Amino acid sequence: MKNNLEKIRKERGISQKQFADEMEVSRQTISSLENGKYNPSITLAFKIAKYFDISIEDIFIYEED
């Protein structure tokens, strides 16, 4: 799954560490999300969308195989 997480986070001037702390996950989790190596739980996806006040679809891009 592709995502715009890194772009959105950087546009708002938030470090991976700051964002990880806000999401109550490790910095490594944020890095893995941004690199497309990890798909978030639905709970984390909603939490991220709420944090940025945008829709999940604006962050995470679902692509069928």
pLDDT of 65 higher than 80: no
pLDDT of 10 higher than 80: yes
- What pLDDT is stored for residue 64 in this prediction? 81
Q: CA-CA distance, 48 to 65, in Å (whole number)? A: 25
Ranges of each domain in the chain: 2-57
Distances (CA, A) of 59 to 6, 20, 38, 40, 50: 9, 16, 14, 11, 11
Q: CA-CA distance, 37 to 35, in Å (whole number)? A: 5
CATH class belonging to 2-57? mainly alpha
Binned at pLDDT 50, 70 and 90, residue 62 comes out as confident
* Token pair listed for 7: 């772009």
pLDDT tens-place string over residues 14-52: 999 999 999 999 999 999 999 999 999 999 999 999 999
Q: What is the pTM of this model?
A: 0.91
Sequence-distant (≥ 6) Cβ neighbours of residue 32 within 8 angstroms? 38
